[in-house]
């Protein structure tokens, strides 16, 4: 073997060992991250099942002192409720903007979403999944 080639082969061997070690460390990290991802996916699935179960429960009977929620006075809230009454099923903020002939701009969609969230907080609507709203049944 040539005296000039031997040092190069040693450097190649050393670099191969370094890369092998780095690759093995990355494989270990990938395994750990894959396990963590699996745990998070299971937790997300459990939360979805819990949400679905809670939404399927019959509403509790209102107490004698429970009064209906006071709706905001702005006419947009009544328009939203009228749209839910006219067309059954779940709706997104964008769907309501279309139904109400509002411009489909981020500002109007976000404003409608805010109103929907307010109606959820008042107990008039329910959010069955993020961004999807339905009318609560009395």
pLDDT in single tens digits along all 138 residues of the chain? 688 888 999 999 999 999 999 999 999 999 999 999 999 999 999 999 999 888 888 877 665 666 667 778 888 888 888 888 888 788 999 988 888 889 989 999 999 999 999 988 888 888 888 889 988 875
pLDDT reported for residue 64: 61
What's the predicted TM-score (pTM) here?
0.50
- Region of residue 82 (phi > 0: left; psi between -120 and 50: alpha; otherwise: beta): alpha
Classify the C-alpha dihedral 14-16-21-22 as positive or negative. Answer: positive
CA torsion, ordered 27, 28, 29, 30, to nearest 10 deg:
50
Instruction: Indicate the SS3 state at residue 83.
Output: helix
For residues 80 and 112, the answer to whether their CB atoms sit within 8 Å is: yes
Asked if CATH classification 3.40.50.720 holds for the domain at 75-135, the reply, yes or no, is no
């Amino acid at each position: 073997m040539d005296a000039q080639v031997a040092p190069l082969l040693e450097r190649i061997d050393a670099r191969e060992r370094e890369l092998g070690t780095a690759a093995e460390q990355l494989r270990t990290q990938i395994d750990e991250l894959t396990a963590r991802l699996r745990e998070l996916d299971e937790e997300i699935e459990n939360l979805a099942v819990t949400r679905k179960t809670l939404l399927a429960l019959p509403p509790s009977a209102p107490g004698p002192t429970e009064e209906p929620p006071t709706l905001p006075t702005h006419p947009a809230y009544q328009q939203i409720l009228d749209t839910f009454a006219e067309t059954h099923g779940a709706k997104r903020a964008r769907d309501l903007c279309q139904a109400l002939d509002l411009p489909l701009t981020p500002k109007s969609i976000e404003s409608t979403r805010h109103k929907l969230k307010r109606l959820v907080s008042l107990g008039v609507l329910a959010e069955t999944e993020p961004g999807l709203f339905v009318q609560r049944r009395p």
